[in-house]
Every structure is written in structure tokens, then in C-alpha cells.
Amino acid sequence: MNKACPIILRKIRDELEILAFEHPLAGNQLVKGSIEKDELLADACIRELAEESGLAARPHSFLGVWNANFDNQEWGFYVMEYDGVLPDSWVFHTADDGGHIFKFFWQPLNQHLDGNWHLLFGGAVDFIRQALIANKFIVR
């Protein structure tokens, strides 16, 4: 496993949503990044979430590992627990890669991803949907 993908979920009117963002150069995505040498997946998820969104959250449930069939990437997923209420959307200025402005939003998991999504993340969202069902994951 070489990629960490922290997941934040919320439930609005019985609809499960996942935190996502619009990358200014590469379409809609989930928070994801490389796991550093000797770094645990849970720690990488904490770090990547903070770097890409500014959020401080803690690992709640390991969701599984997905082979992306791209560039030897294996993604590890953790559902993260955030204390507080997040807005419907916000922007965050990242410090990495010369700095980007990420526009965060909530993607309903029961809706088809539109053409703004980076293709690689479509497979990741499908994996997440299946893993949540298989693990009987409940968001309150």
C-alpha cells in the first residue's frame, strides 16, 4: 500500500455524503496522498487530510485497500472522525506543489459522479460504496 485516502462522511436527510474537492487542474477528487517511508496508514491519513483540507480528524475505521490499476498504486482507506460540523462548502489553500486552492464540497454517495470527476477517483468511490455496505458502516 502506498497511498493514503482519508474519508469523511456525513448524513443529511438520510443521504450519505463523502467529502470531496475540486482540484484547479485535475477535476474533482478525494483527499489522497503518498504514504511516507515507515509511516502508518492511519498517520498518513491524518497528515494528508490536514495538508489538503486544513482539517484535524482522527482515524475511526479502516475501510480496506484498493488496487487502482494505475502506476502501481494501492490505496488504503480510513473513515475519519471529525469533531464539529463542517460547512456545505469551503476553499483551502494548500502549501504543497507550489500551492493550490481546493474547493471542498459534499458528494452524495448514491448519485452518479459527473464528468468533472477525475476518472481514477470514480473507481475509488465505487470501492468506498462497496466497502461501506460490506462493513455495514453506519453514519449518524
CATH number for the domain spanning 51: value is: 3.90.79.10
pLDDT for 24 beyond 80: yes
User: By the 8 A CB rule, do 100 and 94 touch?
Assistant: yes
**126 within domain boundaries:** yes
The total number of structural domains that make up the chain: 1
Its pTM stands at: 0.94
User: Which residues neighbour 80 within 8 Å (Cβ) at sequence distance 6 or greater?
Assistant: 6, 7, 8, 45, 46, 49, 57, 58, 59, 60
Residue 47 belongs to some domain of the structure: yes
Tell me, yes or no, whether 139 lies in a domain. no
The boundaries of the domain holding residue 48 are 3-134
User: Taking residues 122-127, what's their average pLDDT?
Assistant: 96
Query: Average pLDDT for residues 106-129, to the nearest whole number?
Result: 95
